[in-house]
Chains A and B, each alone.
Chain A
Amino acid sequence: MHALQRRSDTWLGVTLLLSATVHVAAFVCMVWLQQLQPDLGQLQTTYYVDVVNLPVAAPQAGSPLPEASPASEDEVAAAPQAGPQTPPATPFPSNAGGKAAPSEDHGFQERMAKLAAKAAEQRQAAALESLRRKIGGGKVGMPGAAGSQAGSDYTAYLHSRLKDAFRKTISYQSSAPFAVVRLTVDGDGRILRTRFERSNGDKLFESAVQRAISLAEQRIVPPPGRSTYEGTFVFKPQGVTQQ
């Protein structure tokens, strides 16, 4: 009896060890899978920046550079000022009681100013090109927008396209239809996946939603940075309050 009990305890330990190993492996797999998935929270809060009409930092100087770019600030600070040079602050006017500068010096300074302005333009162009490349080339984001409007994010843009399409397809047979749909848009602006998460079972309404999505897909542009976008939309007739 005693020997049998000891053997049984050994098997219990082995079983527990095996179980723990399996669970640890499962946990590692889950963590690994979580890492593989894209960070949806970041995608939700991605804002579009219109690279063609960037907000002007200093309208008087005509600088198209954004204010909040440390690297660009450094470059601007290092670059000589384009345009007419402001004379150094002195207690007296430069021509008061002093001799006029020689004409050769004046020409040399004008040429230097032009060269400096050209160098500054080149730097600004390079910075812009770098910014364009960083955001992603091609037509992205919200077409026709200046990029500075409140809510000009891709979710709002997609919502607008879906709403326009839904007006043309809405059809239902139940009193309070709704459908919760998760959309995945790939980097080329195609609807990669449409998943109906919940609905009230009105198949005609679900079909109308599906058709609205298909209709909207014909006109949407890729998400910013050509990254994958995921969002969840609740479709329902206007004025229906049921969730």
Chain B
Amino acid sequence: MKRIIRLLCGLALLCSLTGTAGSATYIEVTAPGNRLLRLAIVPAQPLGDTVRPELANEMAEAQVFDLTMSGLFTAERRDAAPLPQGLGLSVIDFIPWLTAGYDLLIRGEYELRGDELTVEFRLFDVLNKKPLLVKRYLGSRKDLRRFSHHFIDELLATLAGERGPFSSRILFVSTQSGNKEIFAMDWDGHNLQQITRSGAITISPDVSPDGREIIFTSYKRGNPDLYKRALSSTVDVPLSTRRGVNITGAWSPDGTRIALGLSKDGNTELYLINRDGSSPERLTVSHAANLSPSWSPDGSKIAFVSDRLGRPHIFIMDANGGNVQRVTTNGGNNFNPAWSPKGDKIAYTHQSGGFQIFVINTDGSGDTQLTSEGSNERPRWSPDGRLIAFSSKRGGNEAIYVMRADGSGQTKVSRSSGNNIHPVWAPRH
């Protein structure tokens, strides 16, 4: 009986194998180039009696900027006749858009009742004449740009497989109030908000992985101490006030620990502390300065700066301080490492004459210069790794700039006066 069963199973397996093997013929289809998708954005049309074209224009302009910076689209604002029965009931004629060469179309509608704002955006595939994404937002007038950015984030998730960074904010240090204080803004420079008002030097902010708290170094008690603050609060909680410097704090990806540089024993060494400042654990042991920790996305490794070989260079080590490896080998000085969210690259500042932004693979290969104009420092990745924020001095004051991860599209985004430095990209919300 067992023989029969085995025979039958073997026959069945043979049948299935011959069935699949017979149809395996592959024909290669190739095409040159890598075109950008053409996307038309029609300003949202009003619903109801309140007609505010400036709102529709602001939303469209914000979306055009987001899409252009994504590097995947050629986005253009285009006017079109309003749909008589709104987005839900009208039939859109796609032929003119197809004839004009557009791949995608965004149409929307809004309704403003007092301060209450309702917005709906729809993304259409012009070729297949079908909607790809529909989102409806309810909020207030001040949420207008946030809705627009959020829709583009969702659009990128739909078309490119990963959400965009455009609904996130950038924190940075600005001197516009007289002292170095921490401010926050939308990624494109709008909605500026002052976070700290310490009246002293405040530097090196970092945002917790949940986006609710920040840590920073402040001299408000004379010594560079590390503080923590909830973004919904105005109270600064001292985390590390040890003798010497308490600088360059960095949240671990799981938000439970903080890596920072302490000089309580002489030279600056890297330590780990709990999120409440307790249980310091020393990571580096060397005669040189060790600072500026940056966590790998999985929290298993830390990149940092050390001048243990003479000049400051970028190193990586395990999160427990072991297995130290040198990453940069070029001449000059290298600072401010920032580990990419995908974990494959480290952006850093290279000083050889001026300061410029470079990226390098974590194994030390592929060292690539991204900036060349002016003096550029402190790169920080966007949450999705598509963009890099950095501070740049290109005549006049230092400002916050954003570029794509390949160095293209360098654009000034900070709009405030004074020097704007130390950008850090907050998580998406």
Contact status A34-B29, CB under 8 Å? no
Is B23 in contact with chain A by the CB < 8 A criterion? yes
Q: Please give, as numbers and ranges, the residues of chain B lying within 8 Å of A37 by CB-CB distance.
A: 19
Complex Cα–Cα for A234 and B37 (A): 22
Is B323 in contact with chain A by the CB < 8 A criterion? no
Complex Cα–Cα for A204 and B72 (A): 9
Complex Cα–Cα for A217 and B1 (A): 53
CB contact between A23 and one of B9, B34, B159, B161 (< 8 Å): that residue: B9
Query: With A17-B1, A20-B4 in contact, is A237–B34 under 8 Å at CB?
Result: yes
In this complex, what residue of A is CB-closest to B8?
A23
Q: Please give, as numbers and ranges, the residues of chain A lying within 8 Å of B33 by CB-CB distance.
A: 167, 170, 237-238
Contact status A171-B72, CB under 8 Å? yes
Q: Please give, as numbers and ranges, the residues of chain A lying within 8 Å of B160 by CB-CB distance.
A: 173, 203-204
Contact status B31-A237, CB under 8 Å? yes
Contact status A24-B8, CB under 8 Å? yes
Is B318 in contact with chain A by the CB < 8 A criterion? no
Query: With A23-B9, A27-B12, A171-B36 in contact, is A233–B29 under 8 Å at CB?
Result: yes
Within 8 A of B (CB), among A16-59: 16-17, 19-20, 23-24, 26-27, 30-31, 34, 37, 40-41, 44
Q: Please give, as numbers and ranges, the residues of chain B lying within 8 Å of A186 by CB-CB distance.
A: none
Q: Please give, as numbers and ranges, the residues of chain B lying within 8 Å of A31 by CB-CB distance.
A: 15
Contact with A along B379-416 (1 / 0, CB 8 A): 00000000000000000000000000000000000000
Contact status A211-B35, CB under 8 Å? no
Complex Cα–Cα for A159 and B27 (A): 7
Q: Please give, as numbers and ranges, the residues of chain B lying within 8 Å of A167 by CB-CB distance.
A: 31-33
Q: Please give, as numbers and ranges, the residues of chain B lying within 8 Å of A171 by CB-CB distance.
A: 34-37, 72
Complex Cα–Cα for A159 and B29 (A): 7
Within 8 A of A (CB), among B1-50: 1-2, 4-5, 8-9, 11-12, 15-16, 19, 22-37
Contact with B along A188-220 (1 / 0, CB 8 A): 000000000000011110010001101100000
Is B103 in contact with chain A by the CB < 8 A criterion? yes
Contact status B35-A232, CB under 8 Å? no
Q: Please give, as numbers and ranges, the residues of chain B lying within 8 Å of A173 by CB-CB distance.
A: 72, 160
Is B127 in contact with chain A by the CB < 8 A criterion? yes
Distance in Å: Cβ of B86 to nearest Cβ of chain A: 27
In this complex, what residue of A is CB-closest to B12?
A27
Determine the main DSSP class of A at the interface with B.
helix
Distance in Å: Cβ of B6 to nearest Cβ of chain A: 10
CB contact between A232 and one of B11, B12, B25 (< 8 Å): that residue: B25
Is A180 in contact with chain B by the CB < 8 A criterion? yes
Within 8 A of A (CB), among B114-155: 125, 127-128
Q: Please give, as numbers and ranges, the residues of chain A lying within 8 Å of B29 by CB-CB distance.
A: 159, 162-163, 166, 212, 233-236
Distance in Å: Cβ of A112 to nearest Cβ of chain B: 56
In this complex, what residue of B is CB-closest to A177?
B34
Is A239 in contact with chain B by the CB < 8 A criterion? yes
Contact status B23-A41, CB under 8 Å? yes
Is A228 in contact with chain B by the CB < 8 A criterion? no
Q: Please give, as numbers and ranges, the residues of chain B lying within 8 Å of A34 by CB-CB distance.
A: 15, 19
In this complex, what residue of B is CB-closest to A33?
B19
In this complex, what residue of A is CB-closest to B4?
A20
Contact status B31-A238, CB under 8 Å? yes
Query: With A170-B33, A235-B29 in contact, is A27–B8 under 8 Å at CB?
Result: yes
Complex Cα–Cα for A207 and B161 (A): 10
Complex Cα–Cα for A42 and B11 (A): 24
Complex Cα–Cα for A20 and B72 (A): 58
CB contact between A203 and one of B28, B127, B161 (< 8 Å): that residue: B161
- With a 10 A CB-CB cut-off, give which of B11, B12, B31, B125 has the most chain A CB atoms: B31
Contact status B8-A214, CB under 8 Å? no
Contact status B26-A233, CB under 8 Å? yes
In this complex, what residue of B is CB-closest to A202?
B161
Q: Please give, as numbers and ranges, the residues of chain B lying within 8 Å of A41 by CB-CB distance.
A: 22-23
Complex Cα–Cα for A31 and B21 (A): 16
Distance in Å: Cβ of B196 to nearest Cβ of chain A: 38
Complex Cα–Cα for A51 and B110 (A): 59
In this complex, what residue of A is CB-closest to B16?
A30
Complex Cα–Cα for A230 and B159 (A): 27
Contact status A207-B159, CB under 8 Å? yes
Complex Cα–Cα for A16 and B6 (A): 12
Q: Please give, as numbers and ranges, the residues of chain A lying within 8 Å of B15 by CB-CB distance.
A: 27, 30-31, 34
Complex Cα–Cα for A48 and B339 (A): 58
Distance in Å: Cβ of B30 to nearest Cβ of chain A: 4
Contact status A172-B25, CB under 8 Å? no
Distance in Å: Cβ of B330 to nearest Cβ of chain A: 24
Q: Please give, as numbers and ranges, the residues of chain A lying within 8 Å of B161 by CB-CB distance.
A: 201-204
CB contact between A238 and one of B5, B32, B127 (< 8 Å): that residue: B32
Q: Please give, as numbers and ranges, the residues of chain B lying within 8 Å of A214 by CB-CB distance.
A: 127-128
Contact status A237-B32, CB under 8 Å? yes
Contact status A163-B22, CB under 8 Å? no
13 contacts between A and B (CB under 8 A): A40-B23, A155-B25, A163-B31, A169-B35, A170-B31, A170-B33, A172-B34, A203-B161, A211-B125, A212-B29, A232-B27, A233-B26, A233-B29
Q: Which 10 A-B pairs have the closest CB atoms?
A: A203-B161, A40-B23, A238-B30, A166-B31, A238-B32, A170-B31, A167-B31, A16-B1, A204-B160, A23-B8
